Chains A and B, each alone.
Chain A
């Protein structure tokens, strides 16, 4: 198992946000975390990264307990993170963004970068351009590519479709799917139609708890559950 969360509980100030969240992500898969706004999806990803430290429970990455490590140590274990706001440094050029992200700058990372630039040719084209001048879709590509070159097995991606035009969302989902051959993805997404096309596993969150989980096809076939928790038929 690539990632396993076991009964994690997270508080933000006095608010009890995650209330015993358990889930697992298989190596080489795309697992999608669905849920309405405020369900706790983003906090789940932030807890995995140590940005919203857990109070109880365990997080295991490749079998190793990482739940109480600092964020930079978790990232160094090989988990790449794309936050909801993309976390792009607008004053940095695309080239500077990768220079910042590439810890080792060894052959392996260079190879990953080359693959990313093949996947997202716009980034190569705008190599010397400031990130702030990229389009919303290009910024998302940059955020994903930056996370990928610095990871060695797992990407956490938070709502990549947010604020993007439908055509761009489709393109982005296609790219994320093609990344599956190289990495494992835990994706938080509200766009059920798109995410269900690329995800193999799903979890459904509501009020800080996992309420359903399983093969994506099950959720596709279960209109009642979708209606109840996502408000879509």
Chain B
């Protein structure tokens, strides 16, 4: 029982980190029809910036906020310089964003180090909490709590504000949104910044979680995020949350019980969903 609960918490924490990366990706794809392969690079930048700022300031909170700001600034440049000129052209988007991913990953090596960097936890998040025989790692609970708060904030933004209505409507029918007098390009930029910020937040939270960060980590997590976006339904934040938790928890249990299937399980999940419901679990309806 204690093993199962630990695996569940571990899976949930991993799922939350993937959700932070995937939710921005799904909004960007759903609203802008841009498959942004550079998104994982923002995640890696968040991790490196977070570790660097924590070392500088000795404040974990400041490090996270700083990493998010850096991620958003980088996202702003990416959107303006790389993505805006290729809106509507998927082949060019693929090439440009993949190229962008490589460039920003290499820049990590230039600014920081080509070698893996160790990431440490602040003292107050170290250790564990015990419930009888069950021992839960404090930081994993912290990651889950942050993820839940971010999800609820995003959910409120999308369902309770006019801006959220615009974003949701833009995912469904961009032409109609423009015909209502809304400048969709401004909304694109906002969504891109939001997605970049969340990716950087995910990266900054992942760094102490995994203990070691490296420049290529963006692509590794981006693949998981793409699976989550497809399983959850392109454009659906709720779908991303559910799919990310599924991927995280399934991965956690499989790695323990059937380790030889732990890598294949995500692909099998995606295949099953595509066969049963090609638009994904929560695919946006028109």
Contact = CB atoms under 8 A, between A and B. Distances in A.
B176 A87 contact: yes
A75 B176 CA distance: 10
Contacts of A101: 180
B183 A89 contact: no
Interface residues of A, number: 22
Contacts of A146: 180
A78 to B, nearest CB: 9
Contact of A75 (B165, B178, B285, B286): B178
A70, A87, A90, A103 — most chain B CB neighbours (10 Å)? A87
B169 A75 contact: no
A30 B70 CA distance: 55
Contacts of A110: none
Contacts of A91: 168, 172, 284-285
A150 B176 CA distance: 13
A185 B169 CA distance: 26
B178 A71 contact: yes
A70 B286 CA distance: 24
Contacts of B166: 100
Contact of B179 (A81, A92, A103): A81
A22 B176 CA distance: 25
B148 interface: no
Nearest to B182: A72
Contacts of B177: 100
B214 to A, nearest CB: 41
A76 interface: yes
B181 interface: yes
Given A72-B184, A75-B181, A87 B173 contact: yes
B179 A100 contact: no
A132 interface: yes
A150 B169 CA distance: 16
A132 B285 contact: yes
A132 B172 CA distance: 13
A96 interface: yes
Contacts of B176: 83, 87, 89
Interface in B261-286: 284-286
A145 interface: no
A229 to B, nearest CB: 29
B178 A70 contact: yes
A100 B162 contact: yes
B172 A75 contact: no
Contact of B180 (A70, A75, A90): A75
Given A83-B176, A87-B176, A100 B169 contact: yes
A71 B285 contact: no
A101 B176 CA distance: 10
A91 B172 CA distance: 10
A51 B285 contact: no
B285 A90 contact: yes
B175 interface: yes
Contacts of A89: 168-169, 172-173, 176
A26 B180 CA distance: 23
Nearest to B175: A51
B173 A150 contact: no
A191 B184 CA distance: 34
Nearest to B286: A90
Nearest to B172: A89
A128 interface: no
Contacts of B180: 72, 75, 100-101, 103, 146, 150
Contacts of B162: 99-100
A144 interface: no
A96 B181 contact: no
A83 B179 contact: yes
A83, A91, A99, A132 — most chain B CB neighbours (10 Å)? A91
Interface of A: 49, 51, 70-72, 75-76, 81, 83, 87, 89-92, 96, 99-101, 103, 132, 146, 150
9 contacts: A49-B179, A83-B179, A87-B175, A90-B285, A90-B286, A91-B168, A99-B162, A100-B162, A132-B285
Given A89-B173, A91-B285, 9 more contacts: A49-B179, A51-B179, A72-B184, A81-B179, A83-B175, A91-B168, A99-B162, A132-B285, A150-B180
